[in-house]
Amino acid sequence: MTNAVLANEVEQLKAAALGYEARHRPIPNFVFPPGVRMAVNFTLDFDAMLARRLANEPPMQLAKGEFGGRIGIWRLLEMYEAHDIKVTIFTPGRICELYPEALRRAARAGHEIADHMWEHRVPADKALEEDHLLKTIAALERVAGRRPVGTRSEHTPALLRREGFIYNSSTSCTYTPLYQDDENGMNRLVQLPVHFAIDDAMYFSANWAGSKTPAQRLLDPDEVFEMWWSAFWHQYRLGGYLNFMLHPFVSGRASRVDMLERLIVEMKKLPGVWFPTCEDLARHVLSRHPA
């Protein structure tokens, strides 16, 4: 009896793990466009204070996020433009009502505006989820002049496909771009992997994602520079990919903008480093390695 229960447990766990694995479609022998050895995406998760507001945090926490909209986003765009790099801004729909000028300016300059949920959450209720996604698409289209094709979210893949999305950037299962299906093996989307080791908030933002004050170990830009350079160098040797997950309220702080600029200057000294938007990279994947 006990053995049967345990065996059943194994079957269930195995089904979960293998089913999950089967949804992921790595791309063997992944190749970049000619002359490219490695791709680097700079992505800005432009939540500003929305995630703080959602968690019902107090006024000064909101003000800390507000920095991203008033100062950080502008400063980061200016720095990237000085280095001729186009970034992808993952934007909650409601940010379009809070910081429309910053987004319009970014879109005009050729940066990509992509989805990051309506108010930084995916509602469990399917009808409300659809409502949130449609609101976000409409809001982003109003500021950017075109519909978003990318997302960083856990939105339902079928919904995303129906609305014309081509990629998601939300997995850490491997280094280079791949395809990911939904639970039914359908609604395939390009996945552009990220990793929390390349997320600025882990190192610089106190009380990130509900973490308690005594658990904070704030780092400095020099130490993070060393880690991120190591991550870049690892992928450069492999001919791989790196996706920087940055928050304007975190990385828009002056010393961190300078740190990112130092990284870019160093990366540009090496041949074959490509700085596309996520959309550019996803379209390359679709054309060179069709689903």
Partner 1 sequence: MPWKQNYTISDEIGMKDSDIRWPDCKRCCFSVVVDLSPASTPSGITSADLTHPTSLFGITLGLQNIMQLLRRFGLRATFVVPAVMAEIYPDQIKAIRDDGHEIAAGGWKHEDVSVLSAEEERDRIAQTTSTLERIVGSRPKGWFSLPRQQDAFAVGSVSGATMGLLIDAGYGYMGNGLADDGPHYWVADFARRKALLTLPYHYSCDDQFFLMFPTEGTGLDRVIALKRNWLREFEAQYRRGRYFSMTLHPKGSGWGHHAEALEQVLAHIVNFPGLWNATGAECADYWSATYPADTHLRLSASIWQDHEGSLS
216 lines the binding site for partner 1 (CB under 8 A):
yes
Nearer to partner 1, 28 or 58 (CB): 58
Pairing outcome for strands 112-115 and 88-91: parallel
Candidates 114, 178, 201, 257: give the one binding partner 1 (CB under 8 A): 257
Q: Under DSSP, is residue 125 helix (H, G, I), strand (E, B) or coil?
A: coil
Stretch 139-198 residues interacting with partner 1 (CB under 8 A): none
Total binding residues toward partner 1, as defined by CB under 8 A: 52
Which of 2, 3, 29, 213: binder of partner 1 (CB under 8 A)? 213
Asked if residue 74 binds partner 1 (CB under 8 A), the reply is yes
**56, 46, 171: which is closest to 100 by C-alpha?**
46
Reduced to 3 states (helix: H, G, I; strand: E, B; else coil), residue 24 is: strand
Q: Does 119 bind partner 1 (CB under 8 A)?
A: yes
In the complex, least distance from residue 153 CB atom to partner 1, rounded to whole angstroms: 15
Query: 151: which 2 tokens?
Result: 């997302």
Q: Which stretch binds partner 1 (CB under 8 A): 163-171, 194-202, 206-214, 240-248?
A: 206-214
The span from the CA of 107 to the CA of 131, in Å, is 24
Nearest to residue 85, comparing CAs of 106, 101, 65?
Answer: 106
Q: How far is CA 258 from CA 213, 230, 267, in A?
A: 27, 18, 14
CB of 227 to partner 1, least distance (A): 13
In the bound complex, what is the minimum distance in angstroms from residue 234's beta carbon to partner 1? 24
| Cα 166 from Cα 139, distance rounded (Å) | 19
Q: Strand, coil or helix: what is 115?
A: strand
Residue at 95: amino acid letter: I
- Residue 62 near partner 1 by CB under 8 A: yes
Give the pair of three-digit tokens for residue 15.
Answer: 């089904």
* Three-class SS state of 166: coil
CA distance 133 to 140: 10
83-102 footprint of partner 1 as x/- string (CB under 8 A): -----------x--xxxxxx
- Residue 70 binds partner 1, judged by CB under 8 A: yes
Considering the complex, state which of residue 93 and residue 193 has its C-beta at the smaller distance from partner 1: 93
Judged by CB under 8 A, the chain residues 42 through 61 that form the site for partner 1 are 49-50, 53-54, 57-61
Question: Could you say whether residue 219 binds partner 1 (CB under 8 A)?
Answer: yes
Q: Whose Cβ is closer to partner 1: residue 4's or residue 215's?
A: 215
Q: Which residues contact 78 (CB under 8 A, 6 or more apart)?
A: none
Q: Residue numbers of the site for partner 1 (CB under 8 A)?
A: 49-50, 53-54, 57-64, 66-67, 69-71, 74, 94, 97-102, 118-119, 123, 128, 131-132, 135, 204, 206-207, 212-214, 216-223, 253-255, 257-259
